[in-house]
Amino acid sequence: MPLPVRCEMIIVERGIILVLFHLQYTMTVISKISGLPWSTIKNFLNWTAVRGYIENALGSGRPKKLRKWDWRAILRFVKKNKAWTREQIRQDCCPHVSLDTPDHYLRENRKWLAKKRPKLTDARAAAGLAWAL
Contacts of 67 by beta carbon, 8 Å cutoff, 6+ apart: none
Q: How would you class 98 by CB atoms within 10 Å of its CB: exposed for 0-12, middle for 13-18, buried for 19 or more?
A: exposed
Do 132 and 100 form a contact (C-beta atoms < 8 A)?
no
Q: For residue 93, is it within any domain?
A: yes
Q: For residue 31, is it within any domain?
A: yes
The Cα–Cα gap between 127 and 95 comes to: 45
47 and 73 fall within a common domain: no
Q: For residue 45, is it within any domain?
A: yes
The Cα–Cα gap between 15 and 86 comes to: 45
Number of H-type helices and E-type strands within the chain: 7, 0
Q: For residue 79, is it within any domain?
A: yes
46 and 77 fall within a common domain: no
Which residue segment(s) compose the domain that 46 sits in?
11-51
Q: For residue 92, is it within any domain?
A: yes
- pLDDT tens for 40-79 read 999 999 999 998 888 877 777 887 788 888 888 888 887 7
Q: For residue 78, is it within any domain?
A: yes
Query: pTM of the entire structure?
Result: 0.46
Confidence of residue 126 (pLDDT cuts 50, 70, 90): very high
> What's the number of domains the chain is made of?
2
The Cα–Cα gap between 119 and 86 comes to: 25
- pLDDT tens for 5-51 read 667 888 888 999 999 999 999 989 999 998 889 999 999 999 999 98
Q: For residue 30, is it within any domain?
A: yes
Mean per-residue pLDDT, 97-106:
81
Q: For residue 122, is it within any domain?
A: no
104 and 75 fall within a common domain: yes
